[in-house]
Structure 1
Amino acid sequence: MDEQRYIYVSDAVKEEVRRYQSGEKNGTLVAGGNGSGGGLNQFDWPRYLFVDRDHSVYVSDYYNNRVMKWVEDATEGIVVAGGQHAGDALTQLHYPNGLFVDSLGTLYVTDTFNDRVMRWIQGGMKQGTVIVGGKARG
Protein backbone atom coordinates (compact mmCIF):
# COMPACT_ATOMS: atom_id res chain seq x y z
CA MET A 1 0.00 0.00 0.00
CA ASP A 2 1.33 3.44 -0.87
CA GLU A 3 0.88 6.74 1.00
CA GLN A 4 -2.32 7.44 -0.97
CA ARG A 5 -3.73 4.15 0.34
CA TYR A 6 -3.68 2.37 -3.01
CA ILE A 7 -3.01 -1.35 -2.80
CA TYR A 8 -0.96 -3.08 -5.50
CA VAL A 9 -1.59 -6.70 -6.47
CA SER A 10 0.45 -9.01 -8.71
CA ASP A 11 -1.55 -11.55 -10.70
CA ALA A 12 0.66 -14.41 -11.91
CA VAL A 13 -2.16 -15.89 -14.02
CA LYS A 14 -2.89 -12.67 -15.93
CA GLU A 15 0.82 -11.70 -15.88
CA GLU A 16 0.11 -8.20 -14.60
CA VAL A 17 0.14 -5.80 -11.66
CA ARG A 18 -2.91 -3.70 -10.79
CA ARG A 19 -3.48 -0.82 -8.40
CA TYR A 20 -6.74 -0.61 -6.45
CA GLN A 21 -8.50 2.06 -4.43
CA SER A 22 -10.71 0.99 -1.54
CA GLY A 23 -13.92 -0.51 -2.93
CA GLU A 24 -12.69 -0.64 -6.52
CA LYS A 25 -13.34 -3.90 -8.41
CA ASN A 26 -11.28 -3.69 -11.61
CA GLY A 27 -8.28 -1.61 -10.59
CA THR A 28 -5.82 0.12 -12.88
CA LEU A 29 -3.21 -1.79 -14.85
CA VAL A 30 0.24 -0.48 -13.84
CA ALA A 31 2.58 -3.18 -15.22
CA GLY A 32 2.46 -6.07 -17.66
CA GLY A 33 -0.88 -7.29 -18.97
CA ASN A 34 0.52 -8.38 -22.34
CA GLY A 35 0.57 -12.12 -21.74
CA SER A 36 3.41 -14.32 -20.59
CA GLY A 37 6.85 -13.68 -22.05
CA GLY A 38 10.23 -12.05 -21.73
CA GLY A 39 9.50 -8.72 -23.39
CA LEU A 40 9.88 -5.45 -21.51
CA ASN A 41 6.08 -5.17 -21.42
CA GLN A 42 5.58 -8.73 -20.15
CA PHE A 43 6.09 -10.96 -17.13
CA ASP A 44 6.48 -14.65 -16.60
CA TRP A 45 5.01 -15.16 -13.14
CA PRO A 46 5.21 -11.78 -11.36
CA ARG A 47 5.63 -12.37 -7.63
CA TYR A 48 6.68 -9.80 -5.07
CA LEU A 49 6.20 -6.04 -5.34
CA PHE A 50 7.66 -2.88 -3.89
CA VAL A 51 6.30 0.61 -4.54
CA ASP A 52 8.66 3.56 -3.99
CA ARG A 53 7.88 7.21 -3.17
CA ASP A 54 7.65 8.10 -6.86
CA HIS A 55 5.05 5.35 -7.38
CA SER A 56 7.47 3.23 -9.39
CA VAL A 57 6.61 -0.44 -9.01
CA TYR A 58 9.41 -3.01 -8.65
CA VAL A 59 8.39 -6.56 -9.53
CA SER A 60 10.24 -9.85 -9.07
CA ASP A 61 9.65 -11.57 -12.43
CA TYR A 62 10.18 -15.14 -11.26
CA TYR A 63 10.60 -17.25 -14.40
CA ASN A 64 12.37 -14.47 -16.33
CA ASN A 65 14.93 -14.37 -13.51
CA ARG A 66 14.85 -10.59 -13.25
CA VAL A 67 13.54 -7.66 -11.27
CA MET A 68 11.78 -4.96 -13.25
CA LYS A 69 11.00 -1.35 -12.42
CA TRP A 70 7.90 0.23 -13.89
CA VAL A 71 7.78 4.01 -13.51
CA GLU A 72 4.35 5.57 -13.16
CA ASP A 73 2.37 5.51 -16.45
CA ALA A 74 5.04 3.44 -18.28
CA THR A 75 4.10 0.93 -20.97
CA GLU A 76 7.36 -1.01 -20.53
CA GLY A 77 9.49 -1.88 -17.56
CA ILE A 78 13.23 -1.49 -17.02
CA VAL A 79 15.32 -4.49 -15.98
CA VAL A 80 17.13 -3.40 -12.80
CA ALA A 81 18.52 -6.79 -11.70
CA GLY A 82 19.18 -10.08 -13.44
CA GLY A 83 17.61 -10.75 -16.81
CA GLN A 84 20.61 -12.78 -17.98
CA HIS A 85 18.88 -16.18 -17.77
CA ALA A 86 19.04 -18.28 -14.60
CA GLY A 87 22.47 -18.63 -13.04
CA ASP A 88 24.70 -17.82 -10.10
CA ALA A 89 26.95 -15.11 -11.57
CA LEU A 90 26.72 -11.63 -10.06
CA THR A 91 24.77 -10.50 -13.15
CA GLN A 92 22.21 -13.27 -12.72
CA LEU A 93 19.33 -14.35 -10.52
CA HIS A 94 17.70 -17.75 -10.23
CA TYR A 95 14.05 -17.32 -9.29
CA PRO A 96 13.94 -13.94 -7.51
CA ASN A 97 11.33 -13.51 -4.81
CA GLY A 98 11.10 -10.94 -2.00
CA LEU A 99 12.48 -7.48 -2.62
CA PHE A 100 12.96 -4.12 -0.96
CA VAL A 101 14.18 -0.75 -2.22
CA ASP A 102 15.69 1.68 0.29
CA SER A 103 15.47 5.49 0.21
CA LEU A 104 18.66 5.70 -1.91
CA GLY A 105 17.20 3.40 -4.58
CA THR A 106 19.31 0.39 -3.61
CA LEU A 107 17.51 -2.86 -4.40
CA TYR A 108 17.70 -5.90 -2.14
CA VAL A 109 16.37 -9.16 -3.57
CA THR A 110 16.15 -12.74 -2.38
CA ASP A 111 17.63 -15.08 -4.98
CA THR A 112 15.82 -18.33 -4.19
CA PHE A 113 17.74 -21.09 -5.97
CA ASN A 114 21.11 -19.46 -5.24
CA ASP A 115 20.28 -19.27 -1.51
CA ARG A 116 21.39 -15.66 -1.24
CA VAL A 117 20.29 -12.08 -0.77
CA MET A 118 21.74 -9.64 -3.28
CA ARG A 119 22.13 -5.87 -3.33
CA TRP A 120 21.90 -3.94 -6.61
CA ILE A 121 22.94 -0.30 -6.51
CA GLN A 122 21.00 1.65 -9.11
CA GLY A 123 22.60 3.95 -11.63
CA GLY A 124 24.11 1.75 -14.28
CA MET A 125 25.38 -1.16 -12.17
CA LYS A 126 25.04 -4.31 -14.22
CA GLN A 127 25.86 -6.70 -11.41
CA GLY A 128 24.83 -7.15 -7.83
CA THR A 129 26.69 -7.93 -4.63
CA VAL A 130 25.98 -10.94 -2.42
CA ILE A 131 25.28 -9.65 1.07
CA VAL A 132 24.14 -12.90 2.69
CA GLY A 133 24.33 -16.59 1.76
CA GLY A 134 25.21 -17.97 -1.63
CA LYS A 135 27.31 -20.91 -0.51
CA ALA A 136 24.85 -23.76 -0.07
CA ARG A 137 21.50 -24.55 1.46
CA GLY A 138 21.32 -24.75 5.19
Structure 2
Amino acid sequence: LSKVRCVQFKRSDTLNSIKSIFTHTPKFSCVPVSLLSADIHPNARWQQNGITVAGGNRQGNGINQLSDPWGLYVDNDQTIYVADTSNHRIVEWKQGATSGQVVAGGNGQGSGDHQLYNPEDVIIDKERDSLIICDTSNGRVVRWPRRNGTSGETIISNIYCLGLTMDENGSLYVTDFGKHEVRRYRRGESQGTVVAGGNGSGNRLDQLSDPSYVFVDRDHSVYVSEWNNHRVMKWMEGAKQGIV
Protein backbone atom coordinates (compact mmCIF):
# COMPACT_ATOMS: atom_id res chain seq x y z
CA LEU A 1 0.00 0.00 0.00
CA SER A 2 1.21 3.49 -0.77
CA LYS A 3 1.67 6.02 1.99
CA VAL A 4 -1.12 8.56 2.15
CA ARG A 5 -0.52 11.73 4.07
CA CYS A 6 -0.75 15.50 4.09
CA VAL A 7 2.52 17.32 4.66
CA GLN A 8 3.16 20.81 6.00
CA PHE A 9 6.29 22.64 4.85
CA LYS A 10 7.20 25.41 7.27
CA ARG A 11 8.40 28.67 5.85
CA SER A 12 11.98 29.82 5.80
CA ASP A 13 13.05 33.39 6.55
CA THR A 14 12.45 34.51 2.96
CA LEU A 15 8.72 33.89 3.13
CA ASN A 16 6.93 36.95 4.46
CA SER A 17 3.21 36.63 3.94
CA ILE A 18 1.98 33.09 4.49
CA LYS A 19 2.66 30.70 7.32
CA SER A 20 2.67 27.35 5.57
CA ILE A 21 1.81 25.43 2.45
CA PHE A 22 0.05 22.10 2.43
CA THR A 23 0.26 19.33 -0.13
CA HIS A 24 -0.61 15.67 -0.13
CA THR A 25 1.08 12.63 -1.58
CA PRO A 26 -1.28 9.90 -2.74
CA LYS A 27 -0.57 7.67 -5.73
CA PHE A 28 -1.37 10.48 -8.17
CA SER A 29 0.87 13.26 -9.40
CA CYS A 30 -1.79 15.97 -9.71
CA VAL A 31 -1.88 17.87 -6.42
CA PRO A 32 -4.61 20.44 -5.73
CA VAL A 33 -4.00 22.96 -3.00
CA SER A 34 -6.47 25.52 -1.65
CA LEU A 35 -4.84 28.38 0.23
CA LEU A 36 -6.38 31.33 1.98
CA SER A 37 -3.78 33.68 0.55
CA ALA A 38 -1.82 33.77 -2.68
CA ASP A 39 0.64 36.40 -1.40
CA ILE A 40 3.74 34.24 -1.68
CA HIS A 41 7.03 36.06 -2.16
CA PRO A 42 8.55 35.24 -5.59
CA ASN A 43 11.81 34.21 -3.90
CA ALA A 44 10.12 32.14 -1.19
CA ARG A 45 11.79 28.92 -0.12
CA TRP A 46 10.51 26.14 2.11
CA GLN A 47 12.36 23.80 4.42
CA GLN A 48 12.95 20.52 2.64
CA ASN A 49 11.63 18.29 5.43
CA GLY A 50 7.90 18.55 6.08
CA ILE A 51 5.80 17.25 8.95
CA THR A 52 2.71 15.10 8.57
CA VAL A 53 -0.43 17.04 9.48
CA ALA A 54 -3.13 14.57 8.34
CA GLY A 55 -3.07 10.84 7.75
CA GLY A 56 0.32 9.18 7.50
CA ASN A 57 -0.87 5.92 9.08
CA ARG A 58 -1.04 3.94 5.85
CA GLN A 59 -4.11 3.75 3.66
CA GLY A 60 -7.33 2.92 5.46
CA ASN A 61 -10.66 4.13 6.80
CA GLY A 62 -9.70 4.69 10.42
CA ILE A 63 -10.19 8.16 11.87
CA ASN A 64 -6.39 8.57 11.83
CA GLN A 65 -6.12 7.38 8.20
CA LEU A 66 -6.87 8.61 4.70
CA SER A 67 -7.49 6.79 1.44
CA ASP A 68 -6.68 8.67 -1.77
CA PRO A 69 -6.96 12.19 -0.30
CA TRP A 70 -7.50 14.69 -3.08
CA GLY A 71 -8.71 18.28 -2.62
CA LEU A 72 -8.11 20.15 0.60
CA TYR A 73 -8.88 23.49 2.20
CA VAL A 74 -6.92 25.27 4.92
CA ASP A 75 -8.82 27.57 7.30
CA ASN A 76 -7.48 30.67 9.07
CA ASP A 77 -6.69 28.68 12.20
CA GLN A 78 -4.74 26.07 10.15
CA THR A 79 -7.55 23.52 10.39
CA ILE A 80 -7.41 21.30 7.31
CA TYR A 81 -10.46 19.92 5.51
CA VAL A 82 -9.58 16.93 3.31
CA ALA A 83 -11.64 15.31 0.56
CA ASP A 84 -10.92 11.71 1.59
CA THR A 85 -12.01 10.42 -1.79
CA SER A 86 -11.99 6.63 -1.51
CA ASN A 87 -13.50 6.79 1.98
CA HIS A 88 -16.37 8.93 0.61
CA ARG A 89 -16.06 11.54 3.31
CA ILE A 90 -14.72 14.96 4.25
CA VAL A 91 -12.41 14.92 7.27
CA GLU A 92 -11.43 17.85 9.48
CA TRP A 93 -7.94 17.81 10.97
CA LYS A 94 -7.16 20.48 13.55
CA GLN A 95 -3.63 21.78 13.90
CA GLY A 96 -1.55 19.31 15.90
CA ALA A 97 -4.24 16.61 15.90
CA THR A 98 -3.32 12.93 15.59
CA SER A 99 -6.71 11.97 14.18
CA GLY A 100 -9.46 13.66 12.22
CA GLN A 101 -13.19 14.16 12.54
CA VAL A 102 -15.67 13.27 9.81
CA VAL A 103 -17.70 16.38 8.97
CA ALA A 104 -19.50 15.18 5.81
CA GLY A 105 -20.29 11.75 4.42
CA GLY A 106 -18.65 8.77 6.06
CA ASN A 107 -21.76 6.64 5.57
CA GLY A 108 -20.42 4.52 2.74
CA GLN A 109 -20.57 5.35 -0.94
CA GLY A 110 -24.02 6.23 -2.20
CA SER A 111 -26.33 8.91 -3.51
CA GLY A 112 -28.37 9.58 -0.39
CA ASP A 113 -28.43 13.05 1.15
CA HIS A 114 -26.30 11.65 3.99
CA GLN A 115 -23.73 10.11 1.64
CA LEU A 116 -20.92 11.07 -0.73
CA TYR A 117 -19.41 9.11 -3.61
CA ASN A 118 -15.76 9.87 -4.40
CA PRO A 119 -15.70 13.53 -3.31
CA GLU A 120 -12.80 15.28 -5.04
CA ASP A 121 -12.70 18.80 -3.59
CA VAL A 122 -14.01 20.89 -0.70
CA ILE A 123 -14.10 24.56 0.29
CA ILE A 124 -15.74 26.55 3.09
CA ASP A 125 -18.45 29.15 2.51
CA LYS A 126 -17.83 31.28 5.58
CA GLU A 127 -20.84 33.52 5.07
CA ARG A 128 -23.13 30.51 5.42
CA ASP A 129 -20.78 28.52 7.66
CA SER A 130 -20.99 25.50 5.39
CA LEU A 131 -18.89 23.11 3.34
CA ILE A 132 -19.25 23.02 -0.44
CA ILE A 133 -18.18 19.69 -1.89
CA CYS A 134 -17.54 18.25 -5.35
CA ASP A 135 -19.47 14.99 -4.94
CA THR A 136 -17.87 13.78 -8.13
CA SER A 137 -19.24 10.31 -8.82
CA ASN A 138 -22.75 11.43 -7.88
CA GLY A 139 -22.53 14.18 -10.52
CA ARG A 140 -23.41 16.97 -8.11
CA VAL A 141 -22.12 19.76 -5.91
CA VAL A 142 -23.48 19.63 -2.37
CA ARG A 143 -23.60 21.95 0.62
CA TRP A 144 -23.21 20.51 4.12
CA PRO A 145 -23.49 22.35 7.44
CA ARG A 146 -19.99 22.92 8.72
CA ARG A 147 -20.82 21.84 12.24
CA ASN A 148 -22.85 18.83 13.32
CA GLY A 149 -24.24 18.23 9.84
CA THR A 150 -25.88 14.88 9.13
CA SER A 151 -26.91 15.43 5.51
CA GLY A 152 -26.22 17.69 2.58
CA GLU A 153 -28.21 19.71 0.06
CA THR A 154 -27.60 19.45 -3.69
CA ILE A 155 -26.93 22.92 -5.10
CA ILE A 156 -25.71 21.94 -8.60
CA SER A 157 -26.80 18.81 -10.48
CA ASN A 158 -25.61 17.01 -13.61
CA ILE A 159 -22.00 18.10 -13.32
CA TYR A 160 -18.76 16.13 -13.25
CA CYS A 161 -17.00 18.41 -10.80
CA LEU A 162 -13.35 17.96 -9.89
CA GLY A 163 -12.49 21.39 -8.52
CA LEU A 164 -14.17 24.46 -7.07
CA THR A 165 -13.30 27.77 -5.48
CA MET A 166 -15.01 30.96 -4.33
CA ASP A 167 -14.15 34.63 -4.84
CA GLU A 168 -14.44 37.45 -2.32
CA ASN A 169 -17.99 38.21 -3.49
CA GLY A 170 -19.18 34.70 -2.69
CA SER A 171 -19.41 33.62 -6.33
CA LEU A 172 -18.73 29.91 -6.79
CA TYR A 173 -16.50 28.67 -9.63
CA VAL A 174 -16.80 25.01 -10.59
CA THR A 175 -14.97 22.89 -13.16
CA ASP A 176 -17.00 20.47 -15.27
CA PHE A 177 -14.70 17.68 -16.40
CA GLY A 178 -17.36 16.28 -18.73
CA LYS A 179 -18.47 19.50 -20.44
CA HIS A 180 -14.91 20.89 -20.59
CA GLU A 181 -15.79 24.21 -18.99
CA VAL A 182 -15.68 26.31 -15.84
CA ARG A 183 -18.89 27.95 -14.64
CA ARG A 184 -19.42 30.81 -12.21
CA TYR A 185 -22.47 30.77 -9.96
CA ARG A 186 -23.26 34.06 -8.27
CA ARG A 187 -25.25 33.80 -5.06
CA GLY A 188 -28.83 32.91 -5.88
CA GLU A 189 -28.07 31.70 -9.41
CA SER A 190 -29.00 28.18 -10.46
CA GLN A 191 -27.67 28.00 -14.03
CA GLY A 192 -24.34 29.78 -13.83
CA THR A 193 -22.25 31.43 -16.53
CA VAL A 194 -19.41 29.85 -18.51
CA VAL A 195 -16.20 31.75 -17.71
CA ALA A 196 -13.69 29.38 -19.34
CA GLY A 197 -14.05 26.83 -22.11
CA GLY A 198 -17.54 25.79 -23.13
CA ASN A 199 -16.57 25.19 -26.77
CA GLY A 200 -16.16 21.44 -26.63
CA SER A 201 -13.05 19.43 -25.90
CA GLY A 202 -9.95 20.61 -27.74
CA ASN A 203 -6.60 22.34 -27.52
CA ARG A 204 -7.49 25.71 -29.03
CA LEU A 205 -7.17 28.77 -26.81
CA ASP A 206 -10.97 29.00 -26.57
CA GLN A 207 -11.26 25.37 -25.47
CA LEU A 208 -10.49 23.19 -22.48
CA SER A 209 -10.01 19.44 -22.30
CA ASP A 210 -10.87 17.76 -19.01
CA PRO A 211 -10.46 20.80 -16.71
CA SER A 212 -9.57 19.69 -13.21
CA TYR A 213 -8.69 22.36 -10.64
CA VAL A 214 -9.45 26.05 -10.56
CA PHE A 215 -8.24 29.21 -8.83
CA VAL A 216 -9.63 32.76 -9.07
CA ASP A 217 -7.48 35.81 -8.32
CA ARG A 218 -8.46 39.26 -7.06
CA ASP A 219 -9.10 40.46 -10.63
CA HIS A 220 -11.49 37.54 -11.17
CA SER A 221 -9.15 35.91 -13.67
CA VAL A 222 -9.67 32.15 -13.73
CA TYR A 223 -6.71 29.76 -13.67
CA VAL A 224 -7.57 26.19 -14.63
CA SER A 225 -5.47 23.04 -14.98
CA GLU A 226 -6.27 20.81 -17.94
CA TRP A 227 -5.78 17.08 -17.64
CA ASN A 228 -5.63 16.20 -21.35
CA ASN A 229 -3.91 19.32 -22.66
CA HIS A 230 -1.15 19.23 -20.04
CA ARG A 231 -1.32 22.95 -19.43
CA VAL A 232 -2.62 25.62 -17.08
CA MET A 233 -4.78 28.32 -18.67
CA LYS A 234 -5.59 31.84 -17.51
CA TRP A 235 -8.94 33.30 -18.56
CA MET A 236 -9.36 36.96 -17.71
CA GLU A 237 -12.82 38.12 -16.66
CA GLY A 238 -15.05 38.36 -19.74
CA ALA A 239 -12.45 36.80 -22.07
CA LYS A 240 -13.48 34.59 -25.01
CA GLN A 241 -10.25 32.65 -24.89
CA GLY A 242 -7.42 32.00 -22.48
CA ILE A 243 -3.65 32.17 -22.47
CA VAL A 244 -1.28 29.35 -21.53
Q: Determine if the TM-score, normalized by the shorter chain, exceeds 0.5.
A: yes
The counterpart of 2:89, out of the listed 66, 76, 96, is 66
Show the counterpart of 2:133. 109
The counterpart of 1:121, out of the listed 141, 145, 158, is 145
- Indicate the structure (1 or 2) with the bigger Cα radius of gyration: 2
Give the root-mean-square deviation of aligned CA atoms.
Answer: 2.2
- Across the two proteins, how many residue pairs are aligned to each other? 130
- Tell me, what secondary structure is at the counterpart of 1:113? helix
Q: TM-score, normalised by structure 1?
A: 0.86
- Tell me, what secondary structure is at the counterpart of 2:120? strand
Unpaired runs of at least 5, structure 2: 1-7, 9-16, 28-43, 161-177, 180-244
- Give 1:12 shift: 1.0
- Contact residue 103 and residue 147 of structure 2 kept, 8 A: no
Show the counterpart of 1:41. 64
- Tell me, what secondary structure is at the counterpart of 2:137? helix
- Contact residue 95 and residue 111 of structure 1 kept, 8 A: yes
Show the counterpart of 2:117. 94
Paired AA for residue 9 in structure 1: T
Unpaired runs of at least 5, structure 1: 14-20
- Tell me, what secondary structure is at the counterpart of 2:60? coil
1:82 paired to 2:74: no
- Tell me, what secondary structure is at the counterpart of 2:108? coil
- Give me the whole-angstrom Cα distance separating, in 2, the residues matched to 1:130 and 1:107: 12
Show the counterpart of 1:18. none
Residue deviations 1:49-90, cap 9 Å, x none?
100011100000010000000011101100011111110001
1:22 paired to 2:20: no
- Give me the whole-angstrom Cα distance separating, in 2, the residues matched to 1:6 and 1:122: 23
- Give me the whole-angstrom Cα distance separating, in 1, the residues matched to 2:113 and 2:61: 20
1:56 paired to 2:79: yes
- Give me the whole-angstrom Cα distance separating, in 1, the residues matched to 2:115 and 2:46: 40
- Tell me, what secondary structure is at the counterpart of 1:63? helix
Paired AA for residue 118 in structure 1: V
Higher relative contact order at CA 8 Å, sep ≥6: structure 1 or structure 2?
1
Q: TM-score, normalised by structure 2?
A: 0.50
- Contact residue 6 and residue 22 of structure 1 kept, 8 A: no
